[in-house]
């Protein structure tokens, strides 16, 4: 007999140590918890009953979520743990552990970095250290036995006599074997991101890892595992036909890493007649006019490029390995084809000064980008910048943060002479300077196609220009972009309760 598995995606508050300023985080978007949806699909495939509660999107309190979980009567409850939001999730775990008294399992990238530190908290019973594909079915199988032996579960962190053990995970994982995420357990009609034009909206991941070596990115030099074009198109078809999804944001670190694969996916979208709008992330030097044209024909409307800086020396410092001329030519090709572009830029990168960053903002303006994001350079776990911070300070902030020994604060940035206060001021100035240009404002106004889009973008603009950090902690959440958000939210909550009672 299968287990009853509850998965919870909890809301979280803005943190001082985040890379984005508060106003950007507020308007960034509401995205489906794809990792948990994959976990749900893996558990369902193994014959277990699953309830996925997206408490963040449904605006559920801990008490409201507890009521729904009691209707479902789970045997185990699971959470996704990120390093940055670890403490928010831990508060929810403590609440449910006290009120339900069932095993708690956690997973996510953080477990690969700090498995023992994460398991140090008594409320957490199990940790899925690698992907759940092999670990979760084996764990649920053992939990169903009278005398479970957790040494047989690959890639599992567990406790015995208050000591943490981590089992090896020798299996190579073929990403093509993963089932499609269990979107039937999600409120797909409520998801959106800032530039969203159509609904329903979702996100996809078609590859894991990244072969590049950017010094600020946690994915640098991680094994690159792409799904086959046929596997990708089957998921797009399911999104289109089963869930009424018409817009997809592909969250791969670099969707165009293998241009021939990208071309085949585009060809399949066109040959199947799928009327979908999609966005993706790409390196500047992985696309040319020919590929971009095929992407546009297949429904690509936005590409997010990691540009990072307009200064060649800074680009070299972060191992970006792109040049200014290529940046200009690629973005020019996108503009000719009518593909909207977003540029990611860093504030306070290695070697950055006020002068170099102002050159970057000037460069960003010259590119005629549709959207920009200026992120404060952060020492993310396992990155070269993190190693630099640990060596310089003699402390691992993230390790102590997970153990509950650290507070939410600005982190040291030994790779730049800019102070944290200067970096914050430069980030806010950059947004105002970029968006406050009359020509840019007029261009954005002319692109608006509906009243709801005008309200969403107008709110973001005035918040960016006038309020910025004055947003209260209670007003952190992105608001759904459609005018029927309240009725859709009510219907989605009711549907979740029905699922819990099944």
Peptide bond into 313 cis (omega under 30): no
- 90, part of any domain: yes
What is d(CA 304, CA 309) in angstroms, rounded to the nearest whole number?
Answer: 15
Q: Which is more confidently placed, 25 or 98?
A: 98
The model's pLDDT over 73-128, given as tens digits with 9 standing for 90+, comes to 999 999 999 999 999 999 999 999 999 999 999 999 899 899 999 999 999 999 99
Q: What is the pLDDT of residue 220?
A: 86
Pairing of strands 76-80, 29-30: unpaired
Domain count, the chain: 3
Q: What is the pLDDT of residue 479?
A: 52
Residues 46, 50, 53, 57, CA torsion sign = positive
Are both 348 and 398 inside the same structural domain? no
449 pLDDT band, cuts 50/70/90, is: low
The model's pLDDT over 372-393, given as tens digits with 9 standing for 90+, comes to 999 999 999 999 999 999 999 9
Nearest to 83 by CA among 113, 116, 56, 57: 113
Q: What is the pLDDT of residue 446?
A: 65
Boundary residue ending a domain (120, 150, 174): 174
Tokens of 65: 């979520």
Q: What is the pLDDT of residue 106?
A: 98
Residue 488 has pLDDT above 60, yes or no: yes
Nearest to 339 by CA among 371, 313, 385, 386: 371
What is d(CA 286, CA 488) in angstroms, rounded to the nearest whole number?
Answer: 40
Q: What is the mean pLDDT of the chain?
A: 91
Q: What is the pLDDT of residue 457?
A: 57
Q: What is the pLDDT of residue 423?
A: 96
CATH of the domain at 214: 3.20.20.70
Residue 24 has pLDDT above 80, yes or no: no
User: Which of the residue ranges 17-26, 165-174, 258-267 would you say has the lowest mean pLDDT?
Assistant: 17-26
471 pLDDT band, cuts 50/70/90, is: very low
Are both 157 and 261 inside the same structural domain? no
Indicate the burial class of 230 (C-beta count within 10 angstroms; 0-12, 13-18, 19 or more).
exposed
- 490, part of any domain: no
Contact 367, 337 (CB under 8 A): no
Are both 258 and 269 inside the same structural domain? yes
- 131, part of any domain: yes
Q: Of how many residues is the chain composed?
A: 502
Which residues, 6+ apart, have CB-to-CB distance to 425 below 8 Å? none
Nearest to 79 by CA among 43, 120, 124: 124
338 pLDDT band, cuts 50/70/90, is: very high
Task: Provide the 10 A C-beta neighbour count for residue 94.
Answer: 16
Are both 372 and 385 inside the same structural domain? no
Are both 409 and 293 inside the same structural domain? no
Tokens of 211: 């072969």
472 pLDDT band, cuts 50/70/90, is: very low
Q: With pLDDT > 70 as the criterion, what percentage of the chain qualifies? A: 91
Q: What is the pLDDT of residue 173?
A: 85
Q: What is the pLDDT of residue 235?
A: 98
Q: What is the pLDDT of residue 456?
A: 54
- 247, part of any domain: yes
Residue 458 has pLDDT above 70, yes or no: no
Buried-exposed string 160-195: b where 16+ CB fall within 10 A, e elsewhere: eeeebeebebeeebebeebebbbbbbbbbbbbbbbb
Q: What is the pLDDT of residue 474?
A: 47
Q: With pLDDT > 90 as the criterion, what percentage of the chain qualifies? A: 81
The model's pLDDT over 117-161, given as tens digits with 9 standing for 90+, comes to 999 999 999 999 988 999 999 999 999 999 999 999 999 999 999
What's 25's DSSP letter? H
Are both 8 and 18 inside the same structural domain? yes
The model's pLDDT over 264-297, given as tens digits with 9 standing for 90+, comes to 999 999 999 999 999 999 999 999 999 999 999 9
Are both 387 and 373 inside the same structural domain? no
Residue 383's alpha-carbon distances to 148, 208, 359, 445, in angstroms, are: 37, 17, 26, 40
Are both 371 and 387 inside the same structural domain? no
Q: Which is more confidently placed, 468 or 230?
A: 230
- 336, part of any domain: yes
What is d(CA 21, CA 335) in angstroms, rounded to the nearest whole number?
Answer: 28
Give Rg (Cα) of the chain.
23
- 466, part of any domain: no
pTM: 0.92
Domain residues for 297?
187-377
Tokens of 274: 């799928």
Tokens of 388: 């630099």
Q: What is the pLDDT of residue 197?
A: 86
CATH of the domain at 43: 3.40.50.2300
- 276, part of any domain: yes
Q: Which is more confidently placed, 286 or 197?
A: 286
Residue 454 has pLDDT above 80, yes or no: no
Residue 475 has pLDDT above 90, yes or no: no
Contact 369, 341 (CB under 8 A): yes
Are both 141 and 206 inside the same structural domain? no
Contact 295, 267 (CB under 8 A): no
- 249, part of any domain: yes
Are both 400 and 331 inside the same structural domain? no
User: Residues 466-492: what's their mean pLDDT?
Assistant: 62
Boundary residue ending a domain (388, 414, 440): 414
User: Residues 18-44: what's their mean pLDDT?
Assistant: 88
What is d(CA 108, CA 113) in angstroms, rounded to the nearest whole number?
Answer: 10
452 pLDDT band, cuts 50/70/90, is: low
450 pLDDT band, cuts 50/70/90, is: low
Q: What is the pLDDT of residue 462?
A: 52
Boundary residue ending a domain (322, 350, 377): 377
What is d(CA 456, CA 463) in angstroms, rounded to the nearest whole number?
Answer: 11
Are both 393 and 327 inside the same structural domain? no
Indicate the burial class of 486 (C-beta count within 10 angstroms; 0-12, 13-18, 19 or more).
exposed
Are both 320 and 406 inside the same structural domain? no
Q: What is the pLDDT of residue 16?
A: 87
């Amino acid at each position: 007999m299968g287990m009853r598995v509850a998965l919870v995606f909890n809301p979280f508050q803005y943190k001082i140590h985040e890379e984005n300023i508060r106003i950007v985080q507020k308007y960034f978007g509401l995205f489906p918890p794809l990792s948990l949806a994959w976990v749900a699909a893996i558990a369902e495939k193994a014959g277990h009953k699953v309830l996925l509660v997206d408490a963040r999107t449904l605006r559920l309190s801990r008490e409201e979520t507890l009521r729904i979980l009691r209707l479902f009567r789970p045997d185990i409850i699971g959470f996704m743990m990120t390093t940055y939001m670890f403490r928010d999730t831990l508060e929810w775990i403590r609440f449910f552990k006290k009120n339900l008294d069932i095993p708690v399992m956690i997973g996510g990238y953080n477990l690969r970095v700090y498995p023992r530190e994460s398991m140090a908290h008594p409320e957490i019973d199990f940790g899925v250290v690698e992907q759940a594909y092999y670990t979760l079915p084996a764990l649920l199988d053992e939990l169903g036995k009278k005398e479970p032996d957790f040494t047989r579960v690959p890639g599992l962190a567990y406790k015995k006599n208050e000591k943490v053990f981590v089992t090896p995970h020798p299996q190579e994982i073929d990403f093509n074997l993963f089932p499609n995420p269990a979107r039937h357990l999600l409120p797909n009609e409520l998801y959106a991101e800032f530039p969203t034009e159509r609904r329903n909206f979702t996100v996809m991941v078609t590859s894991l890892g990244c072969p590049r070596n950017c010094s600020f990115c946690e994915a640098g030099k991680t094994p690159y595992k792409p799904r086959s074009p046929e596997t990708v198109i089957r998921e797009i078809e399911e999104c289109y036909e089963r869930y009424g999804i018409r817009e997809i944001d592909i969250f791969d670190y670099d969707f165009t890493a293998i241009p021939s694969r990208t071309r085949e996916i585009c060809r399949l979208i066109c040959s199947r007649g799928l009327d979908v709008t999609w966005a993706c992330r790409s390196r500047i030097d992985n696309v040319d006019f020919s590929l971009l044209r095929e992407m546009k024909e297949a429904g690509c409307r936005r590409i997010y490029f990691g540009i990072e800086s307009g200064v060649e020396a800074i680009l070299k410092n972060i191992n970006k390995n792109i040049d200014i001329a290529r940046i200009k030519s690629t973005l020019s090709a996108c503009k000719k084809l009518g593909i909207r572009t977003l540029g990611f830029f860093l504030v306070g990168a290695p070697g950055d000064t006020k002068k170099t960053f102002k050159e970057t903002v000037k460069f960003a303006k010259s590119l005629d980008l549709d959207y920009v994001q200026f992120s404060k350079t952060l020492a993310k776990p396992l990155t070269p910048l993190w190693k630099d911070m640990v060596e310089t300070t003699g402390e691992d902030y993230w390790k102590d943060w997970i153990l509950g020994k650290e507070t939410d604060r600005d982190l040291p940035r030994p790779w730049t002479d800019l102070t944290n206060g200067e970096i914050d001021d430069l980030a806010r100035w950059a947004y105002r300077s970029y968006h406050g240009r009359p020509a840019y404002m007029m261009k954005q106004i002319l692109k608006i196609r509906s009243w709801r889009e005008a309200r969403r973008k107008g709110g973001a603009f005035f918040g960016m220009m006038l309020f910025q950090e004055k947003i209260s902690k209670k007003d952190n959440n992105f608001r759904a972009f459609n005018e029927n958000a309240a009725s859709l939210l009510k219907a989605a909550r009711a549907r979740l309760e029905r699922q819990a009672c099944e």
